[in-house]
Amino acid sequence: MVKLIGLGLGLVTAGLAVLLSPGPGEAVLCEAQLAPRLQARLAQPPLDRADLGMVLQTLARPGQPQRTLYSRQGDRRFTPASSLKLLTTAAALDRLGPDYRIRTSVYGRLGPGGVAELRLVGRGDPTLGQPQIDQLAAQLAAAEVTRVSRWILDDRYFSGPALNPTWEWEDLQYAYAAPVNGLILNRNALSLSLTPGGIGQPLTLTWPGSVFPPDWPLVNQTTTVAPGGLPQPLILTRQLGSPDLYLQGSLTIEAGPRQIELAVLDPSLGFQQALALALEARGLQVEAPVTRPGADLGVAADIELASLLSPPLRDWLGAANRDSHNLSAEVLLKTLGVTQGPPEGTDASQRGTQVIKTTLATLGVDTSPLYLVDGSGLSRHNLVTPRALVETLQAMAQHPQARVFQDSLAIAGVSGTLRQRFQPGPLAGRLQGKSGALTGNVALAGYLQPPHYPPLVFSVLINHAQEPAGELRHHLDDILELVGQLSQGC
């Protein structure tokens, strides 16, 4: 059983008030030994061939400023991968507050006999699922709507493209790169289940749990191979300029089902279709054309007939940090751009990156080296310094919302993207942070409570490596387990 340890932020538990002495045979690392040991570790393959940046500091306390225990290329710019979400969520928590909610509205005006033209207006709530669609349908029925004569999908709340133009083409088919628009349902993702067929036959494709199975141009080029055969990876591709999706790869006939999470191609239309089905289930007539507004909405839609509020931000901030959900982070970025950004400019994401830099600068972070293009870290164009990540973590440790921020992070050996890491081991339950991974790049930044040393703040970024992410994570974890051996007073 993993024992959870408070990681500072002014919230140190009684168990950390007194640092225990190391037990017999327990590894001990004195401060003077730290830098030489780290240098020796980083000089070994494969880290010697990669670019690595690291900053390690003591956690600042009132009257006790932080001390830098180790820095390697701390001011150099690196691709941060998903560790970038620390910057996005810190700015969002500071500017929006923990109780911020996102409103989804259905506007319309009832005509004779309960006939209505409905305009769906989403503002990017990433938490909506079928239960919320049912709530909207129930509200519309209670408003005495009997027939929908026209649907207008008003998905213009987030200005600019729904897909970040710097994301890579090969990512766009998958749910982790789903479009970020105003009308979001089920995280704009669909599950595709693949089951072996007969030997030499294509895999069987189904859409489990889908209320409205998509009619997508999906070309099934998969194969079922004989027992003991060599299966090929399952991949999705799309040709430039074509909507067709190609599914390739193979499974052996004895293999169990596999699941792929796909990005929804037209999420606002999917939202409308799900609401139409929910209305039909209540006996309403919904045979109506679907349009998308231009400059003129074309309908007097000044009455809100139904609405939903998202849970407060504190309740879903962990989706971005703990679970590294890209769409949630991108919603925060665009929301910052729309609600807090400069009036000039038409792209919500670009305005949001300006808000992030301005906000972090007011918190004491040196943002001059930062180059931000999205909120999730999926783009390989982002550039962040290890020091900026540590400065953000230090600032949030002193922030009025320190507990909310800390609670949104993954816990080593316990939750989120760190659930399978540092376990078993001395750091399980003693490290909270945000991981990141792109091809050739891994990252981890957060708070660390060694058993025999005061709380620490760290960031480690590894770029331009050739090894798989799993292998790089293993080496990164070794570095932090070495740091975790620090002992006070030796």
Evaluate if residue 20 carries a pLDDT over 60. Answer: no
The second-level CATH assignment, the architecture, of 14-99+314-483 is 3-Layer(aba) Sandwich (3.40)
**Closest C-alpha among 409, 478, 371 to residue 42:** 478
Calculate mean pLDDT across residues 372-398.
Answer: 98
Angle between helix axes 85-96 and 326-340 (nearest 10 degrees) is 40
pLDDT reported for residue 4: 60
- N- to C-terminal Cα separation, the chain: 30
3-state helix, strand, coil in the chain (%, to 5): 30, 25, 45
Calculate mean pLDDT across residues 81-97.
Answer: 98
Question: pLDDT digit string (tens) for 162-200?
Answer: 999 999 999 999 999 999 999 999 999 999 999 999 999
Confidence of residue 262 (pLDDT cuts 50, 70, 90): very high
Domain range summary for the chain, segments of one domain joined by +: 14-99+314-483, 103-160+268-311, 186-263
Beta bridge pairs of residue 53? 461
Calculate mean pLDDT across residues 13-27.
Answer: 50
pLDDT reported for residue 7: 52
Under a CB-based contact definition with an 8 Å cutoff, are residues 226 and 252 in contact? yes
Evaluate if residue 425 carries a pLDDT over 70. Answer: yes
Calculate mean pLDDT across residues 378-390.
Answer: 98
The reply to whether 14-99+314-483 and 103-160+268-311 are identical in fold is no
Instruction: Measure the CA–CA gap between 213 and 199, rounded to whole angstroms.
Output: 27
Helices (H), 243-297: 267-280
Question: pLDDT digit string (tens) for 334-345?
Answer: 999 999 998 777
Instruction: Measure the CA–CA gap between 153 and 181, rounded to whole angstroms.
Output: 11
Under a CB-based contact definition with an 8 Å cutoff, are residues 251 and 231 in contact? yes
Under a CB-based contact definition with an 8 Å cutoff, are residues 440 and 79 in contact? no
What is the residue whose two structure tokens read 């929908």?
148
Written as one string, the DSSP assignment of 364-413 is: T---TT-B-S-SSS-STT-BB-HHHHHHHHHHHHSSTTHHHHHHTSEETT
**Closest C-alpha among 199, 206, 241, 240 to residue 220:** 206
**Closest C-alpha among 107, 102, 156, 151 to residue 128:** 102
Instruction: Measure the CA–CA gap between 279 and 214, rounded to whole angstroms.
Output: 19
Instruction: Measure the CA–CA gap between 129 and 185, rounded to whole angstroms.
Output: 6
Evaluate if residue 62 carries a pLDDT over 90. Answer: no
Instruction: Measure the CA–CA gap between 338 and 385, rounded to whole angstroms.
Output: 27
Calculate mean pLDDT across residues 92-115.
Answer: 95
Class of 103-160+268-311 in CATH: alpha beta
Report residue 291: phi and psi, to 5°: -130, 165
Pairing of strands 103-110, 303-309: antiparallel
**Closest C-alpha among 403, 417, 414 to residue 445:** 417
